[in-house]
Structure 1
Amino acid sequence: MGTTGRERKIPLLPLRGLLVFPTMVLHLDVGREKSVKALEKAMVDDNLILLATQEEVHLEEPTKEQIFKVGTIAKIKQMLKLPNGTIRVLVEGLKRARIDQFLNEDEYFEVAISELEDEMDEMAEVEALMRSVLRTFEQYIKLSKKVTPETLASVSDIDEPGRLADVITSHLTLKMKDKQNVLEAINVKARLEILLEILNNEREVLELERKIGQRVKKQMEKTQKEYYLREQMKAIQKELGDKEGRAGEVEELRKQLSEFDGPDQVEEKIAKEIDRLEKTPPTSAEGNVIRNYIDWLFSIPWTKVTEDNLDINHAKEVLDEDHYGLEKAKERVLEYLAVQKLVKRLKGPILCLVGPPGVGKTSLARSVARSLGREFVRISLGGVRDEAEIRGHRRTYVGAMPGRVIQGMKTAGTVNPVFLLDEIDKMANDFRGDPAAALLEVLDPNQNDTFSDHYIEEPYDLSKVMFITTANTVHTIPRPLLDRMEMLHIPGYTEIEKLNIAKKYLLPKQMEEHGLAEEQLTVSEEGLLEIIRLYTREAGVRDLNRMMETICRKAAKQIVSDEAQELNVTLETLEELIGKSKFRYGLAETEDQVGACTGLAWTEAGGDTLTIEVAVLPGKGKLTLTGKLGDVMKESAQAAFSYIRSRAEELKIDPDFYEKSDIHIHVPEGAIPKDGPSAGITIATALISALCSTPVSKEVGMTGEITLRGRVLPIGGLKEKSLAAHRAGLKTIIMPKENEKDIDEIPDTVKQDLTFIPVEHLDEVLDKALVIDDGKVTV
C-alpha cells in the first residue's frame, strides 16, 4: 500500500449514506453537534478535514469502531449557516488517507492519519483496463436512466486511471460497501478491476430489469388493447341494439363467476373456458359446446348443503305416517339418523331395498328424504345399457351430456340429497360398455368422493349423498355391485297389512284425487277384505290401488249423473259394482288329491303356490316333464325319480314300475317359465302319491330341495312363500329344518294361522303330507 509516510492530526467528519472521492466537489449539510465542532476546528486550523463514512446509515452517534478506516482528506471551500441550524459546507476531495489512531472522541473526532498515494503497475495493462471500464460504463449509461450521456463525454477526457475509477464510481448508484472497496483500493489496477466487476454486475441487473419491464409493458399494452377493443365492441353493439352478442354473454358469465361458490380448480376451469368462449367466433359451433359446458359447471351444486333434521321421533312419525309395516326398513333408517347425530359426519350408506313390485320401495325412499329434510332425486336404471348413461360422454362427441348421476345432482341442487337409483337389477350391458361396472365408483363410499364424469372432467364429491337403490331380485345384480350395498328385504304384505293400507292410505288418497268428500263414499271392512282376497293376488298393493280407483270412478259417475248422493260399498254390492271376482280364495285344493301336491314358489312379484301333478300311465318307463320347466327344476324331478327307484320296496311300490309305466309330471300355467331347486320335495311327494295311489293333504304346502339320498336342503324366500300359503288358505307348511331361523321374519298374523313343520328327510315329509283313511301313512 502506498503512503507518503507523513502523519498528521486532523478533525474527522463522519458521513451518513455518502462517500467522497478525491477531486470530488460537493455540498454537505452538517447538523450533528460533534460534526459541527469538527468543522469549526478545521476552519480554525487549515480548512482541512477528513471525510470518512460510517458503516450503518441509521446510527446517530457512531463510535470509532463503526467508521470505515479509509476516507478522503477534503478542503472546506465554503460554509453557510441555514435557518434551521444546520451548516451547508462546500468541500473538495484532495487525497485518500487512512486513520491510524483516534486522538479525541469527546467534543468531536480528531484522528491521526497517513496519506495514501496511488500505486501504479504496468501501464499497458492499466490502459487496457481503462478502455474496458469506459466501454462497460458506456453500456451502463445506455441501460440506466440515472446517468446522462454528457457524463460519458466528461469522463472520457480523464487521462489518469486512478481518477477515472474514482469519478465513474461517484456517478454510480451502488451500495456503500462497494464504493468503499473502490476507495480502499490504493493499487490503480486493482481499483479498475473492482470497478469493472461492479459495472458488469450492474449492467446485467439493468439488462434483466429492462427485459422484465418490457414484458410487463407488453402485458399491460395487451390488457389495455383488449379493454379498448371490448369497449369498442360494446359501443358498436349498443349502436346496433344488439344486447345478446358474445361480449354481453361473456360479461354475464364473468359476473356469474364472481359470485361462484365452488372449488378453486373448478373456478379456474370456468375462467379458462370463458376466455376460450370470448375468443371463439360467434358463427363457430364450438362456441355452443363451450357455453353448454360452462352452464353445466355453474348449475351443478358444489358446496350447497341442506341441514339434516336429526330428530329421530320426527323421522319415525314421518315414516309411520307414509307407510304401514316395513318395520325393518324403518328401523335401519332410524339407526342411520342416530349414528349421524352422534358423529356429525357419516359417509352416506348405500341401502338396497329388495322386494316385489308395489310394496312401497320407491315411496319409502321419498319418505326417508322427507324425514331427513333432504332433497329427493330419482333416476330409473331399467333398460340402461350404455356406460355413458352413468359416466357421461366425452365433450368431443356431438350432443355430449353428463351422465345421469350428475344430472340428478343438478336436479337436487344440493350435495347431500337422498338419491334413488330405481330398478338397479334391470341394467344390461352390450358393446357400449357395462353400466353396472360404472356404478361401482358411484356406490363405493371409499371412492365416490372423487367421482369422475367424462363430460364434467373435474372430480365431484358424492360422499355426502345418501344412495338408496331398489330391485325386484338380487340374483341379476353383479356381485361386485351387490357387495357395496346393504340389503333390506321387503317381502310383501299380509291381508291385515293390506287392509290397513287400503283404509289409511289408498282409499283416502284416491277419494281426494277423484274429488270425493268423506261422506260421499264408504267401503266396509268386509268389502275391502273381499277385494283383497278375490280381486287381487299380489305381494304389493298396486292392483289394490287400481281397485280403489275403480270404486272411486263408479262413485263419481253415480254422483255426477244424480243416480245417488253417496255410495256405500258392502259385501253384497261389491260384485254388482266391480264385476265378478278374478281369483278363488280359500284352499289351494278343495279336497285331498292323488298325484297332486301344492308347492310354494318364489317369484319377482312375491310368493305363489304351485300345484305339481303326476300321472302314471301304462308304458315302458318314459319320464315326461311339461309346464315350461327350467334345467334346475328338471334335474330336481330326475333326482326325485331316482330316489323313489332306490326306495321302491320300502315305499311299497312295485320295484319294476319304471319299466312298466310312463310317468308324466306337469306343472300348470305352462306358458310361464319356471325354475329353481325348491320344488324337489314337492315333485317327490306327488310322484309317491301317484305311485302309491295315496292322496296328499289339501291343507299342506311344501318347499325344499331334495338329494338322491332323500335329504331336504334349505331354500330361499320363506317369508314370501309363507305369505302366499296364507293367501291360498293353506294350514301347514313343510319346510327344511335349516330354514327355521327365517320363521322370525314372518309376520305374527301369518304365524298364528300356519303350522310350520321343519324336516330333514323326505320320510318326514311323507309322514306329514300323505293321507290314508283320514290318517297319515307311515313309511
Structure 2
Amino acid sequence: MGETDKDDLIKMIDEDENDTNFPEIMPLMPVRDVVIFTDMLLPLFVGREKSVRAVEEAVREDGFLLLVTQKDPNIENPGQDEMFRIGTVSKVLRMLKLPDGRVKALVQGIAKAKILDFVRRKSVYRVKIERIIELPLKEISIEIQALMRIVRENSEKIMAFRGELTGDVGSILEGINDPGKLADLVASSLRLKIEESQQLLEIIDPVKRLKKVNELLSKEVQLSAMQAKIQSDVKEEISKSQRDYYLREQMRAINKELGDNDERSQELSSYRKKIKRCKMSKEAEQEAEKQLKRLEMMHADSAEASVIRTYLDWLVELPWSKSTKDVINIKHAKKVLDTDHYGLDNIKDRILEYLSVRKLNLKMKGPILCFVGPPGVGKTSLGKAIATAMKRKFVRISLGGIRDEAEIRGHRRTYIGALPGRILNGLKQCGTNNPVFMMDEIDKVGADFRGDPSAALLEALDPEQNFAFSDHYLNLAFDLSKVMFVLTANLTDTIPSALLDRMEVINLSGYTSEEKKIIAETFLFPRQIKENGISTKKLSISSEAMQQIITEYTSEAGLRNLEREIGTICRKVARKIAEGEKGTFHISKKNLQKFLGVPKFIPEMDQEDSQIGLSTGLAWTQVGGEVLYVEAALFVGKGELIITGQLGEVMQESARAAVSYARANLSLFGLEENIFDNTDVHIHVPAGAIPKDGPSAGIAMATALISVLINKPVNKFVAMTGEITLRGRVLPIGGLKEKALGALRAGIKTIIIPEKNIKDLTEIPQNVKRKIKFVTVKQMNDVLPLAIEGFNADDLQHKKNKKA
C-alpha cells in the first residue's frame, strides 16, 4: 500500500468525492466491531463466505460496495434486521485472495447511504440505496472555526497521551477546513463504542456532528489525563516502596553496628519467646520455627508476611498446655446443681458420677454428653452448672443452621482471610484446653455443597480420636481429649447415626405442674423481680395465682413462656411504681386477669362431653407431649377411605391398618359384612396446618372408627397410644413420659399403653402416677371396653367364641 497507508493502514483521503457516481443497487457486506466513515481508508480481512462473495461481486462490477455495521458482532450470519440501516458506500481499491480462502481488501469510504430495500438475500446481499448528501456550508463562522480549533487541540492531546503524536498528524488536522471531514477523521481515530460511532455516522449536519465529536473528545481527554495521573502515582508509589526498603535495610545495618535492635528484630524475638513459653507439641514447635524463618527472610510489608504473622499468632495463643485445675468436691457440686436446677435427678446423678470417676482417675477421657429434650427445660444452663461445679471455663457455640464444614474445621491457609474453625476459636477465647464445651442445637446442623459439618464433628467428638484433632488452618494435631463436650438437641431423629453413636444421650422430659410451680416460686419469680428493679416487699404472687398462670396461661414442656408471663406481671407493676403509685401489689386469682388478660389455655379437655367417633391419642413433639384428637365419620359412598389432617406416610398407613382391622372384625361388633360396600370412611386429625406422623395413633384411629360403627361414645377422660396391627395387636411406642405429662396438662385421667411399654413407667414421676391411671393392653379387644362407654366386653367374647 506504500505511502497511501503509512499510519497503521487507517487514513483519511482529503479529496472531494461528492462528484463520484455509483449505482443505486450494489452488493452489501456487514462488518463487525468497526464503523466506516467517509474518506476513510481501511484494510479488511474478510472470512465469512457471504462477505467474500460480496467483495468478489463488487470487484467484478465497478468496485462499489455498501459497508454496514451489524448490531451484534457475535452473530455469524446477520439478517436484515440485525444490521444498521445507514452505512458507507466504499470503493474496493485492492483485493488479495489468501491461501485459506479468506480475502484481504483495501477499501475507501466514498459517501453515506441509506438502505431502501433488500433486492437479494441468498448468496449475496444486494440492496437498493439512497445516497445521503451533506449540504456544504455557505460560510464558516468564527464560532465554527473556534470549535474546529478545539477539536484539533484535543485530538493532539489524546495522540500525545497515547504516544502517537507526530508532525504528519498535526499537518493533516491543520489541512482540513471542512467541519464534516474533520469530524469524520477524528471520529475514526477515537476508540468509541459501536453505538456511539454509528450515532455519529447518522448525524447529517456537519456542525452538529463536529459538536458531538467535541463532547466525546473532551470526555476522552479527561479519561486519558486521569489514566496518566494514576500511572504516574503508581510509579511514584513503587519508587517510594523501593526507597523505603533500602532505607530500612540501611537503618537495620546501622542499628546492628550500634548494638540496637530494630522493631523487626524485636518482633521476631518476641515470637521466639512465645513459642518456647506456650509449650506446644514437638510437631507444632517445628512448624512454628519453620514459619518464623520464612517470615525473617520476607519483606515486612509483603502480603505473605501478614499471612504468616496471623498463623504464628494462632499457634502461640492456643492453649497447648494451659489447663485449669479441677476442684472436685462432690457435695459442693451437688449443691451447685441443686441451686441452679430443680428436679432432673437422673441428669444430676450422671454428672456427679462423672465427677466422682474424674476425682479417682485424673487421666480419664472426657465424656461426650448429649442432653435431649424439649425447649426451655434447662439443657444449656446445665452445662454452665457443670463448669461452675468443676471450676472450669465454659465455652458455648450454637450449631443451628450451620451448613459449612469449614465452620468446624476451618479453612486452608491458601484462602484469603482463612481462620480456624469454631472449636479451636472457642479454646483460644477461654484460654484453657480443658473447658466445658457446649454445642447447642446439634440436631439442626445441615449439609450442602460446602460439605457436611456433622461429618467434621465425628473426629472431635470421638474420645478415641480427638487427642489428635486436625484443623484445616493449623494442619497440626491438637489434643481435645481433656475437653468435656456437652451437646444439646430437641430430637435425635435428625442427628446422623455415626455421630449419635459417639454420644451418651441423656433425655430431659418436661416438668409437671407441681415442679413448674416450685421452680417458678424458687427461681423464676425472684430473677424477674431483680431484673425489673422491684423489691420483694413491693410485689408478691399467691400460690393459687401461680398455679393458674401455669395451667391457664402456658402449655409447654419447658419454662420459657412461664417466665415470660411472670416477667409481664413484673413489668406492669414496675410501670405502676414508676408512675408514682404507692403501696404493695399482691397478685391473686381474682386480679390476675388485670395483668395477663383472659386465659390463653383451658386445662380441661377441648371436648365438653364424650362423643361418638372422637378419640384422644397422644403425640410426642420436639416441644414435649401433647394430646391428639382423632375423628371418624361414615357416610354413603363407594367404600373409599379419606384421610385428612396433613398426615405423614406412616400415620396414613396406621389409618389404613385401623380400617382393615375394623372390616376384618365386623361380625364381632354385630355388624353386617357388607356395611363398607356403600359407605365411605373419613378419618381426620384436627390442627390440619401442623404436619403429623408416626404409628402411635393407630389404636386411637381404630377406636374412633369402631365408636362410629357401633354408635357408642368414647370416654373423654381416656387417652391412648400404641401401634395397631392388622390382627389387632398393640405394639410399643416411644416418648411415654413426655406423652404422660402432656396428658396431665390436658386433664386426662386414664392412659391406655401397650403392655411392652410397662418398663417405661419407672421413668414417670410418682406425682404423675397418682393423678393418672396407666392401663396396659395386648390386643385391640382390650382397648375397646376401656375406651368406649357402654361397650360390652363379655358380649364381644361370646361372639368371638361363637364365631370360632
TM over 0.5: yes
- 1:129-140 alignment, distance < 5 Å: none
- Aligned partner letter, 2:531: E
SS for the counterpart of 2:416 is coil
The match for 1:338 is: 356
Q: Distance in 2 between matches of 1:692 and 1:538?
A: 36
Which of 736, 742, 746 in structure 2 is aligned with 1:728? 746
- Contact residue 324 and residue 432 of structure 2 kept, 8 A: yes
The match for 2:386 is: 368
- Aligned partner letter, 2:352: L
The match for 1:590 is: 608
Deviation at 1:435, TM superposition (A): 1.1
Deviation at 1:777, TM superposition (A): 8.1
Which of 472, 477, 480 in structure 1 is aligned with 2:498? 480
Question: What does the per-residue CA deviation read over 1:235-279, in whole Å, with 9 as the maximum and x for residues that have no partner?
Answer: 57999x998x54443333234334333223322322222222222
> Identity percentage over the alignment?
52
The match for 1:644 is: 662
Q: Distance in 1 between matches of 2:272 and 2:255?
A: 20
SS for the counterpart of 2:751 is strand
Q: Distance in 2 between matches of 1:357 and 1:493?
A: 11
Structure whose alpha-carbon radius of gyration is higher: 1
The match for 2:252 is: 233
- Aligned partner letter, 2:727: R
The match for 2:519 is: 501
- Contact residue 770 and residue 777 of structure 1 kept, 8 A: no
The TM-score normalised by the length of structure 2 is 0.66
Q: Distance in 2 between matches of 1:348 and 1:381?
A: 20
Deviation at 1:768, TM superposition (A): 0.5
Matched, 1:546 2:564: yes
Question: What does the per-residue CA deviation read over 1:510-559, in whole Å, with 9 as the maximum and x for residues that have no partner?
Answer: 11111111111101111111011011100000101111111110110010
The match for 1:634 is: 652
- Aligned partner letter, 1:365: G
Deviation at 1:287, TM superposition (A): 1.5
Question: What does the per-residue CA deviation read over 1:415-459, in whole Å, with 9 as the maximum and x for residues that have no partner?
Answer: 111111111111111111111111111111110000011101110
Deviation at 1:618, TM superposition (A): 1.6
5+ unaligned residues in a row in structure 1: which ranges? Answer: 1-228
The match for 1:398 is: 416
Question: What does the per-residue CA deviation read over 1:124-172, in whole Å, with 9 as the maximum and x for residues that have no partner?
Answer: xxxxxxxxxxxxxxxxxxxxxxxxxxxxxxxxxxxxxxxxxxxxxxxxx
Question: What does the per-residue CA deviation read over 1:69-112, in whole Å, with 9 as the maximum and x for residues that have no partner?
Answer: xxxxxxxxxxxxxxxxxxxxxxxxxxxxxxxxxxxxxxxxxxxx
- Contact residue 771 and residue 777 of structure 1 kept, 8 A: no
The match for 1:606 is: 624
SS for the counterpart of 1:598 is strand
How many pairs does the alignment contain?
A: 550
Deviation at 1:385, TM superposition (A): 1.0
SS for the counterpart of 1:590 is coil
SS for the counterpart of 1:681 is helix
Deviation at 1:568, TM superposition (A): 1.1
- Aligned partner letter, 2:705: L
Q: 1:411 to 1:472 in 2, by over 3 A?
A: same
SS for the counterpart of 1:593 is coil
Deviation at 1:658, TM superposition (A): 1.4
Q: Distance in 2 between matches of 1:381 and 1:354?
A: 15
Matched, 1:302 2:358: no
Q: 1:618 to 1:417 in 2, by over 3 A?
A: same
Q: Distance in 1 between matches of 2:606 and 2:253?
A: 83
Matched, 1:557 2:604: no
The match for 2:730 is: 712
- Aligned partner letter, 2:386: V
The match for 1:160 is: none
SS for the counterpart of 2:437 is strand
Q: Distance in 1 between matches of 2:509 and 2:377?
A: 8
Q: 1:744 to 1:230 in 2, by over 3 A?
A: farther
Deviates more, 1:659-668 or 1:327-336: 659-668
SS for the counterpart of 2:682 is strand
Deviates more, 1:260-269 or 1:629-638: 260-269
The match for 2:302 is: 284
The match for 1:761 is: 779
Deviation at 1:346, TM superposition (A): 0.9
SS for the counterpart of 2:478 is coil
SS for the counterpart of 1:518 is coil
- Aligned partner letter, 1:539: A
Q: 1:769 to 1:273 in 2, by over 3 A?
A: same
Deviation at 1:468, TM superposition (A): 0.7
- Contact residue 768 and residue 776 of structure 1 kept, 8 A: no
Q: Distance in 2 between matches of 1:355 and 1:237?
A: 66
- Contact residue 539 and residue 605 of structure 1 kept, 8 A: yes
The TM-score normalised by the length of structure 1 is 0.68
- 1:73-88 alignment, distance < 5 Å: none
Q: CA RMSD in A?
A: 2.2
Q: 1:688 to 1:234 in 2, by over 3 A?
A: farther
- Contact residue 785 and residue 791 of structure 2 kept, 8 A: no
SS for the counterpart of 1:446 is coil
Deviates more, 1:678-687 or 1:290-299: 290-299
- Aligned partner letter, 2:272: R
Question: What does the per-residue CA deviation read over 1:723-774, in whole Å, with 9 as the maximum and x for residues that have no partner?
Answer: 0011111000000000000001011111100000000100000010000299
- 1:95-114 alignment, distance < 5 Å: none
The match for 1:77 is: none
Q: 1:551 to 1:234 in 2, by over 3 A?
A: farther
Deviation at 1:617, TM superposition (A): 1.3
Matched, 1:324 2:313: no
- Contact residue 588 and residue 598 of structure 1 kept, 8 A: no
- Contact residue 713 and residue 736 of structure 1 kept, 8 A: yes
The match for 1:665 is: 683
Q: 1:237 to 1:629 in 2, by over 3 A?
A: farther
Q: Distance in 2 between matches of 1:450 and 1:627?
A: 51
- Aligned partner letter, 1:525: S
- 1:386-535 alignment, distance < 5 Å: 386-535=404-553
Q: Distance in 2 between matches of 1:772 and 1:741?
A: 31
Deviation at 1:388, TM superposition (A): 1.2
- 1:682-697 alignment, distance < 5 Å: 682-697=700-715
SS for the counterpart of 2:308 is helix
Q: Distance in 2 between matches of 1:546 and 1:552?
A: 10
- Aligned partner letter, 1:307: K
Which of 252, 268, 289 in structure 2 is aligned with 1:271? 289
Matched, 1:677 2:695: yes
The match for 1:746 is: 764
The match for 2:280 is: 262
- Aligned partner letter, 1:728: A
SS for the counterpart of 2:666 is coil
- Contact residue 666 and residue 673 of structure 2 kept, 8 A: yes
- Contact residue 441 and residue 448 of structure 1 kept, 8 A: yes
Question: What does the per-residue CA deviation read over 1:451-490, in whole Å, with 9 as the maximum and x for residues that have no partner?
Answer: 0111011100001111111110011111111111111000
- Contact residue 669 and residue 796 of structure 2 kept, 8 A: no
- Aligned partner letter, 1:719: K
Q: 1:653 to 1:230 in 2, by over 3 A?
A: farther
Question: What does the per-residue CA deviation read over 1:353-373, in whole Å, with 9 as the maximum and x for residues that have no partner?
Answer: 000011000000110111111
Q: Distance in 1 between matches of 2:278 and 2:659?
A: 74
SS for the counterpart of 2:474 is coil
- Aligned partner letter, 2:321: T
SS for the counterpart of 1:397 is coil
Deviation at 1:675, TM superposition (A): 0.3
The match for 1:24 is: none
5+ unaligned residues in a row in structure 2: which ranges? Answer: 1-247, 798-804
- Contact residue 568 and residue 595 of structure 2 kept, 8 A: no
- Contact residue 767 and residue 778 of structure 1 kept, 8 A: no
Q: Distance in 1 between matches of 2:497 and 2:626?
A: 27
Q: 1:565 to 1:778 in 2, by over 3 A?
A: farther
- Aligned partner letter, 1:259: R
